[in-house]
Amino acid sequence: MKEQLELLWELQKIDLDLKQIKEERDRFPKEMKKLEEKQNLEKERFQKEKEKLESLEKERRKKERDLLMEQDKIKKAEGKMSEVKTNKEYQALLTEIETIKESAGRIEEEILMVLEEIDETKKHLMKKEKEMKANLEKIEAERKRIEERLAEGERAWKEKMERKDVLSKQIDSSLIKLYNTLKEKRQGIGIVSVKKETCQGCFVHVPPQMFIEVQKTNSLIRCPNCNRILYFEGDGEKG
Ligand SMILES: [Zn+2]
């Protein structure tokens, strides 16, 4: 019986490990998806900043075109000077030229302001790009870590399944059957250790005589409260 219980104890540990691997397997894709979302958000944010720069450049080009048009108007108006016949006409033309020059001056000022904003946006963008790259690297590292753990889990899964197969053949089928039934009913735990006269599955006190019997590991003893098979791990854990 002692050997059978020891084998069953090992099987229980393997089953718990398998359960954990399975939980990670289920959890990791969700974590990966979250990382992907974070990655996209970083890129999107940067893209928005870039779009701001593009619209500023567009504004600059438009204002430069406007300025050229104004300058062209000035040239044309100045060209008319030679055709002027009266003083009134001359005065009117001067006023017109003056107005266009003022407008051109305003556009020039606006261009300078846009250029300044472009400069600042470029600096800001460079800083943001560095930040984005650092963040993307962090996310990538996290993704690699998850992938490695997944691969590790798969390797462990294979190993443990193989050992489980071996154990399942060595343990009496009736004992396996009982274990499986208990495991199903009791949150994946069919065999449980007893420490200090207490079942570690339900934490209910085990009668002293029963505890002594469990320590002998000679017979199949089950917790009077949760029905699980009791096991004594030994090694300084007496009493
Ligand atoms: Zn119990």
CA of 182 to the centre of ligand 1 (A): 11
pLDDT surpassing 90 at residue 235: no
Q: Is 130 exposed, middle or buried (0-12, 13-18, 19+ CB in 10 A)?
A: exposed
Identify the structural domains of the chain with CATH numbers, from first to last: 25-170 (1.10.287.1490), 174-231 (no CATH)
Q: What is the pTM of this model?
A: 0.71
Q: pLDDT tens for residues 54-84?
A: 999 999 999 999 999 999 999 999 999 989 9
CA of 199 to the centre of ligand 1 (A): 5
Cα–Cα separations (whole angstroms), residue 77 to 90, 102, 197:
11, 14, 108
CA of 190 to the centre of ligand 1 (A): 10
pLDDT at residue 176, as a whole number: 97
Task: Confirm if 181 and 24 have CB atoms less than 8 A apart.
Answer: no
Q: What is the DSSP letter of 223?
A: -
Task: Confirm if 230 and 214 have CB atoms less than 8 A apart.
Answer: yes
Query: What angle do helix axes 2-80 and 173-185 make, rounded to 10 degrees?
Result: 40
* Residues whose Cβ atom is located within 5 A of ion ligand 1: 199, 201-202, 223, 225-226
The vertex-91 CA angle with 89 and 95, nearest 5°, equals 115
CA of 18 to the centre of ligand 1 (A): 22
pLDDT surpassing 70 at residue 237: no
CA of 145 to the centre of ligand 1 (A): 38
Tell me the pLDDT band of 234, cut-offs 50, 70 and 90.
confident
Chain-centroid distance of CA 163 in Å reads 34
Spell out the SS3 assignment of 75-107.
HHHHHHHHHCCCHHHHHHHHHHHHHHHHHHHHH
CA of 156 to the centre of ligand 1 (A): 29
Q: pLDDT tens for residues 191-219?
A: 999 999 999 999 999 999 999 999 998 99
CA of 196 to the centre of ligand 1 (A): 13
